[in-house]
Amino acid sequence: MQIKDSTFLITGGSSGIGKAAARMLIEKGGKVAITASGKDRLEKTAKEINAFPIHADVAKPEDIKKTYETFLKEFGKLDCLINNAGIAGGGEVEKLKWEDFEKVYSVNVFGAAIMSQKAAELFKKQKYGNIINIASTAGVKGYAGGSVYASSKFALRGLTMCWQAELRKYNVRVMCINPSEVRTSFGGRKTEEVSNRLRGEEIAHSIVSSLEMDDRGFIPEFMVWATNPF
């Protein structure tokens, strides 16, 4: 696709991967809206990178409805949805509670699914569109204590595959990107403690590169590893 003058909706866009992707797409001439549940950071980031802010929580169906109403009023059409919003959570299996799964799945799985539901409706009508799901290498191989987070990313990868099967005949590309550990405050890690790990910029580069492929082809799924995170 051509990035210039195309429209993009990025969830979880006020920091990390979402912010880096928004910045890169804007620098290439894209028209970008970012969403986040934290209003102050959202507005600060939007002003910094010249994105359009939509204060919304993907875990709330009413906010998803508001997101699309606001986005379409501003831009008129959607070319690409990037499901980036995500939260961490977990613990040893015998200590887990129902609420642990519900909290993480409401964002990482349910939020992405309902955001994509509306995007799919739009894309099927216009016979064109792109969905990028930001999953994780944790969704490829589980780890001790990862029952909640890893399984949510396994679920997101599964959703990606289902949507690929459903939407390809409408010229809709659905892609999944699985980063390894990214240098961010996500999960409570401090950036100075993990400076050799991936930055949002590496994942943003992957997003933009995959989108820029001619529309006749797409990369269904790929992983981005830090070269030496140890």
From first to last of the 230 residues of the chain, give the pLDDT tens digit: 999 999 999 999 999 999 999 999 999 999 999 999 999 999 999 999 999 999 999 999 999 999 999 999 999 999 999 999 999 998 899 999 999 999 999 999 999 999 999 999 999 999 999 999 999 999 999 999 999 999 999 999 999 999 999 999 999 999 999 999 886 555 444 444 567 889 999 999 999 999 999 999 999 999 999 998 77
Residues 6+ apart with CB under 8 A from 78: 7, 9, 71, 72, 119, 122, 123, 129
Closest CA to 81 of 170, 220, 202, 211: 211
State how far the Cα of 159 lies from the Cα of 162, in Å rounded to an integer.
5
Q: Which residue has the tokens 């809206």?
A: 33
Between the alpha carbon of residue 117 and those of residues 18, 68, 85, 215, the distances in Å are: 20, 11, 16, 21
Closest CA to 88 of 175, 19, 147, 35: 147
State how far the Cα of 140 lies from the Cα of 3, in Å rounded to an integer.
29
Domain spanning 7-90+110-224: CATH 3.40.50.10320: no
pLDDT at position 228: 87
pLDDT at position 195: 73
Q: What b/e string do you get for 37-68 counting C-beta neighbours within 10 Å, with b at 16 or more?
A: beeeebeebbeebebbbbbbbbbeeebbebbb
State how far the Cα of 50 lies from the Cα of 48, in Å rounded to an integer.
6
Q: What ranges do the domains of the chain cover? A: 7-90+110-224
Residue 32: in which H helix or E strand, if any? strand 31-36
CA dihedral 166, 114, 171, 224 (to 10 degrees): -100
Pairing of strands 52-55, 172-179: unpaired
Q: What is the DSSP letter of 227?
A: S
Catalytic residues: 149
Q: Order across the sheet with 129-134: list the strands.
A: 52-55, 31-36, 7-10, 80-83, 129-134, 172-179, 221-224
pLDDT at position 20: 98
